[in-house]
Amino acid sequence: MSQTGNILVIGAGIAGMKASLMLAGASSKVYLVEKLPIIGGKVIKNEESFPNLECSTCMVAPIQQDVLQNPNIETLTYSVVEKIEGSAGDFSVVIRKRARYISLTDCIGCGMCYEPCPVSLKNEWEENLIDRKAIYVPCSGSLPNVPVIDSEHCLRIGGGEDCSLCAEACAFEAINLDDSDEIIEVNVGAVILATGSATFDLSSIPDLGYGTLPGVYAPMEFERLFASNGPTLGEITLRDSEKIPESVAIIHCVGRREQKYCSAVCCMYSFKFARFLKHKIPSVRVFNIYSDICVPGKSYQSFYRSVEGADTEMLYTSSIGDVSVSESGSGLKVSYPDAAVSPQSLNVDMVILAAALVADPDVAQLAEVAGVDLDPQGFIKTVLDGSGSMETSREGVFVAGTAEGPKDIQNSVVQAESAAGQVAEIMTSQASSS
Amino acid sequence: MSSIIIDTSASRGVTGLLKFLLESGKIDAALTMRNDPENNTYDFGLITDASNLDEAVPLIPVMTVNAGQVLSSISISRKKIAAVLKPCELRAFVELVKREKGSLENLLTISYTCGGVFPLDTVITGQIKELLPKYRKTILNGEIPVNTRDTCRACEHFIPMNADITVSVIGECEPGVGCVMHLNTERAVEFTEGFGGERSDRKFDPSTLKKTLDARLAEKEKLFASVTKDGPGLDRLLDTFGKCVGCHGCSSVCPICYCLLCDFESANFDYNLPYFEEHLSRKGALRLPPDTIFFHLGRLTHMSFSCVGCGMCSDVCPVDIPVAAMFKKTGEKTAALFDYLPGRDVEESIPVMVYKEEEFPDIG
Amino acid sequence: MKEFEMQESGQDRKLRAKVGVYICECGPNIAGKVDLDRIITDISELDDYQDVELVVKKYGFLCSAPGKEYLEEEINSNGFTHLVIGACSPRDHDSTFMGVCKKTDLNPYLYRIINIREHCSWVIDDKEKATVKAESYIRGGIARVLRQSELFEKPLDINPDVLIIGGGVAGMEAALSLSSDDRRVFLVEKTDRLGGVSIDLSGILPGQGEVIGKKIESVLGNGNIRVFLNTRVENVIGFLGNFEIELLSEENTEITEIMSGAIVVAAGGTLFDPRESDRYSYSGSDEVYTSLSIEKMFAGDDGAVLRSGKQPSSVALIHCVGREEKNYCSGICCSYMMKLACFFKKQSADIQVTEFYRDICLPKKNDQERFSEAQAAGVALIRIKDISLKGTNVSFERISGDKDKQSFDMVVLAPALEPSADTEYFADLLTVPLDEFGFFQEVHKMTNPVGTATDGVFIVGAAHGPKGVSDSMQFARASAGQILTRLIPGEKLIPEVAVTEISEAYCTGCGNCLEVCVYGAIYSDDSRGISVVNEAVCRGCGNCFGSCPSGALRTKHFTNTQLYREVDEALR
Amino acid sequence: MTDAQGKGAVLPVSKDPGDAILEFLRLAVAKELADAVILPMKVPSGDSFAWILMNDVSLFEGAVPIAAAMPVQGAKALRSLTRKGPGNLTVIAVMRPCEIRAAIELEKLGQVHTDNLILATYDCPGAIPLQKYVDDPGGSEEHFSLMRRSGKPDNTAKPVCHYCENFSMFDSDLHFGYFGFSEKEVLVIPGSDKGSELLKGLDLDLAKDLSDWKKGIDSLKAEREEARKSAFEETGEQLRGFSGMQSVFASCIGCHNCQSACPICYCRLCYFDSETAQQDPDALITAAAKRGGVSLPEDRIMFHVGRMTHMSLSCVSCGQCTDACPVSIPVAGVFSYVADRTQRTFEYEAGRNDGDPLPLRQFRKSELPGIHELVKNAESEEPSHE
């Protein structure tokens, strides 16, 4: 295909991967840029995804494989886009391929290089619930199954010391400690932004005790606690990694008041957590503290009904914004106003905060690079809002998934397919016109 | 060719030989009949471990399945197998080999002068227990044992054709004489090398065999007469096959009927309704399912000249149709036209599969 | 199954087979845990196969670039008839080595990858045991590959045109995004006008009325979109890329035949009938209205008034009508009820507007504004546990448990969205299953929500599930995305190769296979009384194969013989 | 089954119920309410019966509507006639209830098309085993006529008949009831609209109340159910564990007669006769080497187990398999026992014409608990085999 057949997709989550595969299938050359060393996005952090609690890996791994093996897709992991100049049909893009220090072709992911590394750090991908080395893969089953070196903390690269234990341990000479960033310039006809979202900054509501009270968890932390490839290998224990919680409170709508919107997924994942907890700890008591249940769409409410009562007790509060968590003995005390607006409280071992989905902190910078407008909530804005068009304020640049706003997997995929369609549309029209 | 004499009963002699062959690694497996005393049943055992030969009854006068049929499914292999077969089973197998349904290449065939077998129900009823002792005595004298299959009683090919080893049973299986094995082929000699027993050039005892033959031929005449009723014709066919229930058991146990799917069970014989309607309007009545007689005629044309008269078909017929006798009789007639004898010689080609100029001079 | 065997031992099997067995060391991953040299000698000395020559070798990293070149070179120079690779999981590199075969004369379906890493070296510590297991696996692989047969991809010409069923917003959106000079769109609408239910919905989006109007114009004005009004789809046969469709127009009762490569079902939805529940005493004749009829009123000139023509002085808006009955939340009612509330307030600030709701569900990032607007406009919001109506008298139980009564001039119900009446008809026509709620069942809830079991048929809008206008349009565009990236004018489609076939000789037409085929790939040939597979539709899932008692079915590349022989060998 | 008004019409009997039925059929054909009939007829040799499709009324004389033996399962006759489609002839078939039930199963499997068939059943006293009948037709007929009067199978009858509780009106279009009656009259009871139509056409009005007849039938049913219980207990004992299964089928010679006599086994080529089921010679000998030896022909027990899994849900316990077995294995006893359990598991009754699809063609969540139940029961009954 002609040069304009090239496409840039930023973000290798479910939306980015889907769009890339579709366009590659339409024989476009796709550059899929991912800032992390691995692809898969947020979905692979969930052991199981609602509403049917399908195994996320089983769902996503084949898609990841397809992406990695598709000859039309050039996946650039651990890379960032630094410039997007030009106009629709003819963008020139500058990508910084950060030094990974490990050859994607030679490494076979045997993992022999981690052991000898003397550095120990928190594993951010695992929500800091476990340590990692300076050379590491975020979690087992990562794809590509090739580690990366955290250059900042590596004794040799960051600290200038004379350490090459990892390189010595590698049987395949896959490690090149003198690797350096690479600047790649490509020419593309269209761009899809699928960089996803972040979770609400919980520490911004001190009353909920996140960060100060160890028993309080963010949703992603809990997802990893449950994950069988996670820090506890799927065993749900408190931070002392010994005590198994006997009672858990899940507080809904955290950040809704601040963000001024409903993220539409928190209720569902809260119920999923309840199911998880009961499944792993049959004796546990789970409380969902909520003021509104948002389970839109055909298949959500039936899951809610199956959990309600069976896996969790539902506690209504007249003002979810006024729920607070405090320390009480070895456990936690959750205080909330009930239906009659009279204060109630209950003691639990663990609290999970159902945090809102918010715009990714990096999106502002991306918006600058991509030259697109953001909406009041900080997500990437579509010009014809509500029309299903994924086109942004810059012609030829499209958005898909939670980068456009909070949504579930289904709607992310639907947007990815829409965006891919719009790109394919201009591609073919350009192909036929040129 | 030479022969071996072992001082034991014929049956023990054969079992001993099989043991020897397995232990000496000359064969990978032995095929012989076995007895399951617990359930009082018989089956074929494909035996690889000599110690399992204890329940073997190689010469038992019972045919649960025609060994030819069993062998065909296992003989196309590079494993060496020794098989103990009745003369008719061996002939059936040879017919199958001609049809690429088996191979003699890695096979050591052991057969014996056969006194005929008992019908299956004698086994089921346990009657066989009383019959067996008598059986031995009678065949010793070259007479025809009572209660054996009618086709066996009428079988004149009780001396194996082209077996590697022939165990002499009729006339000389008494302990005094011991077990006599005639080695008919190079292969036999080679395989029995190192096997005990006294070598000799002893020949069959012709007198008893002759006596048996005469008796059998007489029986055959009677048998054929019995199934002919008064003259041929469709009515007679109806009389005989009219009660056929169409289970096709006769063809499924027939060693020669090797087809996976019999033509008469194929779609060629599913009729559309117009067929029935048309017949009905012509005849006013017709039988369902159709083609009851046709099936037997068809089978006759397909295999009768290869029929070895083993009698399995009659034995499994749920309505006691003398299928075997009919087929044996027809078979001999058709085969005679081509001076053909089923199972006589592997090289002998199957009549309808070749065309010879000199066939039916009168046709030309 | 003789005829099968013969196919399986195709021409090349008649000649002397030459099987290449290449074992990947995968560095220490396999070589470290499995005694490859022993396997190589054992396998090379196998004498189980007459007329089969075995070439057994090992290599460092077969999946690496040089590894693939090496393999290609080996296949060409040795002229292998079959190839067995002992390496990692097929998930990792099956396609890699198939790719290598495709570059050579070796048919890729005469190759097989055997997983001796995940199954052996990675899970067994005892080298001896791992070696034995790996060897038996490889023996099995050889036994199987020898019974595999060449399969060939049969590219099909495709028709890029698209049939769209339903002329609502979703249908129109799909039509507009799909139509182009090299792709015609047939838009079939059963009523006499385009726009569907959205026409009656006033300003769900600001200026929506015009938006819909414009859409209709541009659809009608588009030369590449052919609109059929008052027309129903009579019959559909075919598969992705090649559908044959019969349309029946109501006016002239003649059949129009069209061809298309894909079908988008935008059959839309309808409102739950409040009569189905005794709770709402809905008759349709008194002052109790459905949201839709009120939308219509607002769309008109004199706004929402009582049957008497008078302004209501008090209005009750009741949410979640039918939510319990249907067991799903439609996800849009809260939003438009807030909007209606504001409309009443706009119409006259004196109207007392009260909303009775169970949960506020505002899943869109901008919906929250509606809520604030309503609050600001002084709309009373009452959260209830339970509610029932007698005419316009509302008795309800507050969340606090207190029971209460109020009466109003006018009551507006927000009924749930449910599948439209002809959903079942289309499900049957297009062999697309329905879900527990009677909506069309998607291929996969998350990763393929617009696709269906019948490849080439897509579901959008409220036919997929309860949806508002914008989501309907979003789904429409998603289906367009799939079609635009899969049905490219001038390109060919390659259907599944390892499909099922039915032996005409053995099939008795009992229809078991037909029942279990979710793709509608099997039909029964009544004249011959047998079942027949449409290879272009079959996906080779093998369901039917399992359902056949007489083994008349056979899924290519996964035949009983292949599987049994592999197991036989592996177990001996 | 729509004998809603609980009434039936009456046919006069001259010699035995069979003649009444014949007369009825003659009328039906004469009045062109049917084009032809299917009835059993003696074979030329006089020691068995065959199904005859006839429209020539003069031939009816030789027919025996209520035959003492069932050489060919009637459903097979119907299959051969209608497999390729219903055709244009309206045909009345008079058969045993188990034969009609088999036909209904076959229709679900696309092997029989009943559209133009009128299926008639009669009070069935049981059948004489084929072998017995062939050996002694005269004696068998005497026994049978006694059975017909009493409505009870005697010791000559097929074993399964003794505990068959579906011996009277089941899902047929028409039923001839005569049990518990003086041999003076036969009841004709419509079982479907087809049946009612026919009776109307013959101006037979449903005058007779059925309650007396029903009482008689029910008491007979009760007896048979008792017999069933004890028979199943016995079979259950015999079948305990694999060894039990083994000894029951020990004498099997693999002729597959049971399968070819079975009305439900509709496959052209049984899977177990197909190439795929046959072992590769080398593999077989290797397998033999493992165990020191194997029994041939292979899979003789596997065949029966396989056949069970394939057809037991549709088994109507007609007993043809036992009749056809050359080594007198009580095949029907075993299959009837297994069928009873599998069919209960899926709350399915073979031969019911209520539009219930075959269990294995549909999936109901509610099935699974049933299966758990079954497994539990089985476990509690089975002594562990360690």
Could you tell me how many helices (H) and strands (E) chain B has, helices first? 14, 9
Which structure tokens are listed for D119? 């299926």
DSSP run (H or E) holding B4: strand B3-6
| pLDDT tens-place string over residues A202-241 | 999 999 999 999 999 999 999 999 998 899 989 999 998 8
- Of A19, A34, A255, A240, the C-alpha closest to A125 is A34
**If DSSP states are collapsed to H, E and C, what string results for B97-138?**
HHCCCCCCCCEEEEEECCCCCECHHHHHCCCHHHHHHHHHHH
- Per the listing, tokens 């399945």 go with B65
Q: Is the minimum CB–CB distance between C139 and chain D shorter than 8 Å?
A: no
CA atoms of C227 and C175, how far apart (whole Å):
10
In a domain, D331, yes or no: yes
Q: In the prediction, which pLDDT does D290 show?
A: 85
- Answer left, alpha or beta for residue A3, where phi above 0 means left and psi between -120 and 50 means alpha: alpha
DSSP C168: B
Q: In the prediction, which pLDDT does D384 show?
A: 44
Cα Rg of chain A, angstroms: 23
In a domain, D2, yes or no: no
- Cβ B270–C2 below 8 Å, yes or no? no
- Answer left, alpha or beta for residue D83, where phi above 0 means left and psi between -120 and 50 means alpha: alpha
Which of residues A104 and A434 earns the better pLDDT score?
A: A104
Q: Is the pLDDT confidence value at B314 over 90? A: yes
Among the partner-chain residues D83, D275, D286, the one whose CB lies closest to the CB of C529 is D83
Q: Is the pLDDT confidence value at A429 over 80? A: no
- If asked whether residues D108 and D217 sit together in one domain, one would say yes
Task: For residue D166, name the pLDDT band (cuts at 50, 70, 90).
Answer: very high
> How many residues in chain A?
434
CA atoms of A315 and A348, how far apart (whole Å):
14
CA atoms of A145 and A136, how far apart (whole Å):
10
- Per the listing, tokens 């119409």 go with C347
Q: Is the pLDDT confidence value at C7 over 60? A: no
Domain residue limits, chain A: 6-98+181-196+360-433, 100-175, 200-357
DSSP run (H or E) holding A347: strand A343-348
Helix (H, G, I), strand (E, B) or coil at A93: strand
- Cβ B249–D257 below 8 Å, yes or no? yes
Q: Is the pLDDT confidence value at B165 over 80? A: yes
CATH class of C162-268+420-486: alpha beta
Instruction: Find all residues with CB under 8 Å of B356, minimum gap 6, and list them.
Output: none
Q: Buried b / exposed e across A74-91, counting CB within 10 Å, b at 16+?
A: bbbbbbbbeebeeebbbb
Task: For residue B238, name the pLDDT band (cuts at 50, 70, 90).
Answer: confident
| pLDDT tens-place string over residues D315-352 | 999 999 999 999 999 999 999 999 999 999 888 999 98
Distances D377 to A6, A348, D372 between C-alpha atoms, Å = 65, 43, 9
Q: Which residues of C touch D267 (CB under 8 A)?
A: 506, 508, 549-550, 552
Query: In this prediction, what percent of chain D has a pLDDT beyond 90?
Result: 70
CB D256 within 8 A of CB B252: yes
Last-in-domain residue among D231, D248, D278: D231
In a 13 Å sphere around the CA of C438, the CA atoms on its Cβ side amount to 18
In a domain, D133, yes or no: yes
Mean per-residue pLDDT, C150-169:
94
Last-in-domain residue among D166, D199, D231: D231
| pLDDT tens-place string over residues D265-278 | 999 989 888 887 88
- If asked whether residues D15 and D101 sit together in one domain, one would say yes
Q: Which residues of A touch C476 (CB under 8 A)?
A: 388
State yes or no: ipTM above 0.85: no
Q: In the prediction, which pLDDT does D2 show?
A: 45
CA atoms of B269 and B274, how far apart (whole Å):
14
- State the smallest CA–CA distance between residue B48 and chain D in angstroms: 5
Q: Is the pLDDT confidence value at D132 over 90? A: yes
- State the smallest CA–CA distance between residue C530 and chain D in angstroms: 10
Per CATH, the architecture of C15-151 is what? 3-Layer(aba) Sandwich (3.40)
CB B288 within 8 A of CB D292: no
| pLDDT tens-place string over residues C529-555 | 899 998 888 989 888 988 888 888 989
Strand C255-260's sheet: what is its strand order? C231-239, C242-249, C255-260
Q: Is the pLDDT confidence value at D1 over 50? A: no
CB A230 within 8 A of CB A327: no
Q: Are strands C500-502 and C288-290 parallel, antiparallel or unpaired?
A: unpaired
Domain residue limits, chain C: 15-151, 162-268+420-486, 273-410
Among the partner-chain residues A49, A296, A413, the one whose CB lies closest to the CB of C329 is A296
CB C166 within 8 A of CB C463: yes
CA atoms of C206 and A170, how far apart (whole Å):
62
Last-in-domain residue among D231, D266, D288: D231
- State the smallest CA–CA distance between residue D137 and chain B in angstroms: 12
Query: In this prediction, what percent of chain B has a pLDDT beyond 90?
Result: 62
A200-357 fold:
FAD/NAD(P)-binding domain (3.50.50)
Which structure tokens are listed for D112? 């029989």
Helix (H, G, I), strand (E, B) or coil at A10: strand
> How many residues in chain D?
386
- If asked whether residues D127 and D267 sit together in one domain, one would say no
- Of D77, D36, D32, D81, the C-alpha closest to D56 is D36
In a domain, D97, yes or no: yes
C273-410 fold:
FAD/NAD(P)-binding domain (3.50.50)
DSSP run (H or E) holding A90: strand A90-97
CA atoms of B30 and D296, how far apart (whole Å):
12
CA atoms of C273 and C282, how far apart (whole Å):
9
Instruction: Find all residues with CB under 8 Å of C117, minimum gap 6, and list them.
Output: C26, C29, C30, C87, C88, C89
DSSP C119: I
Q: Which residues of C touch A377 (CB under 8 A)?
A: 365
- If asked whether residues D215 and D267 sit together in one domain, one would say no
- State the smallest CA–CA distance between residue C4 and chain D in angstroms: 9
CB A187 within 8 A of CB A90: yes
Q: Are strands C162-165 and C262-265 parallel, antiparallel or unpaired?
A: parallel
Mean per-residue pLDDT, B142-170:
93
Q: Is the pLDDT confidence value at A188 over 80? A: yes
Q: Which residues of D touch C507 (CB under 8 A)?
A: 268
Q: In the prediction, which pLDDT does C1 show?
A: 32
Residues 60-79 of B with CB under 8 A from C: 78
Domain range for D91 is 7-231
Q: Is the pLDDT confidence value at B361 over 70? A: no
CA atoms of C74 and C368, how far apart (whole Å):
66
**If DSSP states are collapsed to H, E and C, what string results for chain D?**
CCCCCCEEEEEECCCCHHHHHHHHHHHHHHCCCCCEEEEEEECCCCCCEEEEEECCHHHHHHECCCCCCCCCCHHHHHHHHHCCCCCCCCEEEEECHHHHHHHHHHHHCCCCCCCCEEEEEECCCCCCCHHHHHHCHHHHHHHHHHHHHHCCCCCCCCHHHHCCCCCCCCCCCEEEECCCCCCCEEEEEECCHHHHHHHHHCCCCCCEECHHHHHHHHHHHHHHHHHHHHHHHHHHHHHCHHHHHHHHCCCCCCCCHHHHHCCCCCCCCCHHHCHHHCCCHHHHHHHHHHHCEEEECCCHHHHHHHHHHHHHHHCCCCCHHHHHCCCCCCHHHHHHHHHHHHHHHCCCCCCCCCCCCCHHHCCCCCHHHHHHHHHHHHHHHCCCCC
- Per the listing, tokens 């070598």 go with B199
Per CATH, the architecture of A6-98+181-196+360-433 is what? 3-Layer(bba) Sandwich (3.50)
User: Could you give the number of structural domains in chain D?
Assistant: 2
Task: For residue C213, name the pLDDT band (cuts at 50, 70, 90).
Answer: confident
CA atoms of D318 and D311, how far apart (whole Å):
13
Q: Is the pLDDT confidence value at D108 over 80? A: yes
- Quick check: do C15-151 and C162-268+420-486 share a fold? no
Q: In the prediction, which pLDDT does A1 show?
A: 37
CA atoms of C549 and B267, how far apart (whole Å):
17
pTM: 0.75
- State the smallest CA–CA distance between residue D165 and chain C in angstroms: 28
- CA-nearest residue to B273 within chain C is C527
Query: What rounded mean pLDDT belongs to chain C?
Result: 89
| pLDDT tens-place string over residues A71-82 | 999 999 999 999
Mean per-residue pLDDT, C215-232:
94
Q: Is the pLDDT confidence value at D5 over 80? A: no
A100-175 fold:
Alpha-Beta Plaits (3.30.70)
CA atoms of D183 and D150, how far apart (whole Å):
11
Q: Is the minimum CB–CB distance between B261 and chain C shorter than 8 Å?
A: yes
Q: In the prediction, which pLDDT does D367 show?
A: 56
- Quick check: do A6-98+181-196+360-433 and A100-175 share a fold? no
Q: Is the pLDDT confidence value at B51 over 90? A: yes
Q: Which of C9, C52, C506 to mutate: most B Cβ within 10 Å? A: C506
